[in-house]
């Protein structure tokens, strides 16, 4: 029996998409993440699909167009409910993109009301009386205050969202949330009747997320961080649409050699590279070495060939301390340096897969994007989490690959060893 697609999600960035997909898997939904809008219909039986866009900081009109295209594709796959996923720090500006995208999705769905709730209490993102807290601090006092692209200087989400949409923005305060799904549904109906299009909803713990999830049962569109997704699978289960799945995170076993590619220079990745260097062959990829990116990849390949032949996992890294990165950027230009390193990792990944590597751990958001693109990966089935927010995934193409794509600052110091051990 093929399963109907229950939840279709549109995420405004890649690692955010993975975070949401991981949450859905944990809550018992078989989930696939696509990289951009796929060119073909879905061929896996999944309960949920998360389309990963890169629409967080592009012009609002482009974000709207891409989100509507993703919506069209998800509806063509039969999605029953749509989820617009943004960051748990509500990353946006007065120009968008949360308000304009949510408005456009509402219109396209013929709906007039949705919620807005970035809360993710496990990661200490909570909303109280419409104010977003990051740990103990208001959003506007957190480091997000000085984010280079989306500086968040107002913690009052009702005000923030009202600047992004001509429609009315309301608030569902915590006392209502605490009274449970029935009270929430009644409040949603009351607000919608008053002409409110977007209701910011308080949430300070997982019980709140479960109640909000249950209350969203009949909404065509939910807009939220990944937290609210915790409470949605129960609706499909109660309606008899989602069997109890204990194997939602189970992935096929993938035979073949394993490699780690690190193109992130973030602090967590630097520690992870140091840890793996002690026990495995570790080859630095020097952006200042002569030759094309392909030549850099060839040189690295030559140094790992023996390990590959012996099926010993190895590491290739461009990871460097800030001073070294600055030297490279001074010599090549920041963007040229990034493009060169990304192209080298893309070429190396292709070469490794050609030679039998089937398990790849990639550190760095941009680096992972470059590798996935070089390998022509369109979608990933989401498996068990290695560390919070970073699951093993499998990509199906000409060959089946196991991929762990880690954003730079994620993961414990022994992340690489832990990832590899999980696949044994």
Chain residues that interact with ligand ADP, rule: CB under 6 A = 263-266, 269, 287, 318, 320, 325, 328-329, 337-338, 341-342, 364-367, 407-408
What distance lies between CA 207 and its chain's CA centroid?
23
The nearest distance, CB 342 to ligand ADP, in angstroms, is 4
252/322 with CB nearer ligand ADP: 322
> Is the bond into 58 cis (omega within 30 degrees of 0)?
no
125/406 with CB nearer ligand ADP: 406
Going by C-alpha positions, the residue among 5, 31, 422, 30 that lies closest to residue 247 is 30
The nearest distance, CB 32 to ligand ADP, in angstroms, is 23
The nearest distance, CB 316 to ligand ADP, in angstroms, is 11
The nearest distance, CB 341 to ligand ADP, in angstroms, is 3
Q: For the chain, first and last CA: distance in Å?
A: 31
The nearest distance, CB 134 to ligand ADP, in angstroms, is 19
181/325 with CB nearer ligand ADP: 325
325/348 with CB nearer ligand ADP: 325
How many angstroms separate the Cα of 383 from the Cα of each of 30, 255, 260? 9, 16, 18
Residue with nearest beta carbon to ligand ADP: 408
The nearest distance, CB 36 to ligand ADP, in angstroms, is 17
164/318 with CB nearer ligand ADP: 318
- Are 236 and 258 in contact by the 8 Å Cβ rule? The answer is no
The nearest distance, CB 85 to ligand ADP, in angstroms, is 19
The nearest distance, CB 54 to ligand ADP, in angstroms, is 12
The whole-angstrom separation of Cα 206 and Cα 191 is 24
CB neighbourhood size of 193 (10 A): 9
DSSP 230: G
What distance lies between CA 261 and its chain's CA centroid?
19
DSSP secondary structure string, 81-122? EEEEE--TT---BTTBSHHHHHHHHHHHHT---EEEE--BGG
The nearest distance, CB 37 to ligand ADP, in angstroms, is 22
163/327 with CB nearer ligand ADP: 327
Residue 243: φ, ψ to 5°: -65, 160
How many angstroms separate the Cα of 199 from the Cα of each of 56, 81, 89, 212, 330? 21, 18, 17, 12, 47
The whole-angstrom separation of Cα 224 and Cα 203 is 11
184/316 with CB nearer ligand ADP: 316
The nearest distance, CB 13 to ligand ADP, in angstroms, is 11
132/341 with CB nearer ligand ADP: 341
Checking DSSP bridges between strand 81-85 and strand 125-128, what pairing results, if any?
A: unpaired
What distance lies between CA 332 and its chain's CA centroid?
30
DSSP secondary structure string, 412-423? -TTHHHHHHHHT
64/285 with CB nearer ligand ADP: 285
187/342 with CB nearer ligand ADP: 342
Instruction: Return the H-helix or E-strand segment holding 8.
Output: strand 7-11
Q: What angle do CA 243, 247, 251 make, to 5 degrees?
A: 135
The nearest distance, CB 166 to ligand ADP, in angstroms, is 35
Residue 318: φ, ψ to 5°: -110, 0
235/272 with CB nearer ligand ADP: 272
Question: Any bridge partners for residue 362, and if so which?
Answer: 261, 405
């Amino acid at each position: 029996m093929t399963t109907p697609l229950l939840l279709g999600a549109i995420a405004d960035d890649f690692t955010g998409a993975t975070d949401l997909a991981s949450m859905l898997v944990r809550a018992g939904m078989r989930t696939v993440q696509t990289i951009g809008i796929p060119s073909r219909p879905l061929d896996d039986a999944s309960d949920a699909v998360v389309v990963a866009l890169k629409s967080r900081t592009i012009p609002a009109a482009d974000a709207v167009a891409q989100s509507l295209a993703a919506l069209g594709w998800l509806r063509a796959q039969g999605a029953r409910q749509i989820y617009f996923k943004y960051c748990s720090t509500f990353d946006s500006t007065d120009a968008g993109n949360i308000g304009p995208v949510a408005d456009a999705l509402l219109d396209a769905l013929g709906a007039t009301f949705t919620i807005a709730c970035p809360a993710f209490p496990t990661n200490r993102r909570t909303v109280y009386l419409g104010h977003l807290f990051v740990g103990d601090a208001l959003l506007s006092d957190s480091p997000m205050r000085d984010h280079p692209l989306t500086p968040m200087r107002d913690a009052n989400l009702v005000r923030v969202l009202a600047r992004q949409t001509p429609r009315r923005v309301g608030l569902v305060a915590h006392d209502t949330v605490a009274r449970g799904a029935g009270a929430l549904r009644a409040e949603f109906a009351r607000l919608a009747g008053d002409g409110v299009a977007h209701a910011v909803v308080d949430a300070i713990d997982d019980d709140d997320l479960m109640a909000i999830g249950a209350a969203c049962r009949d909404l065509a569109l939910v807009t939220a961080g990944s937290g609210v997704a915790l409470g949605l699978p129960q609706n499909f289960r109660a309606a008899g649409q989602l069997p109890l799945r204990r194997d939602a995170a189970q992935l096929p076993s993938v035979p073949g050699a394993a490699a780690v590619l690190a193109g992130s220079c973030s602090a967590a990745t630097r520690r992870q590279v140091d840890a793996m260097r002690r026990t495995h062959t570790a080859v630095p990829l020097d952006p200042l070495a002569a030759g094309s990116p392909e030549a850099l990849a060839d040189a690295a390949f030559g140094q790992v060939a023996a390990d590959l032949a012996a099926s010993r996992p190895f590491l290739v890294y461009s990871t460097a301390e800030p001073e070294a990165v600055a030297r490279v950027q001074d010599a090549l230009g920041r963007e040229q340096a990034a493009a060169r390193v990304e192209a080298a990792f893309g070429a190396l990944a292709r070469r490794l897969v050609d030679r039998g590597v089937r398990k790849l751990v990639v550190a760095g958001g941009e680096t992972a994007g470059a590798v996935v693109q070089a390998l022509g990966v369109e979608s990933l089935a989401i498996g068990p989490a290695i560390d919070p927010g970073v699951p093993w995934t499998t990509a199906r193409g000409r060959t089946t690959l196991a991929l762990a794509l880690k954003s730079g600052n994620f993961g414990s110091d022994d992340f690489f060893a832990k990832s590899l051990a999980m696949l044994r």
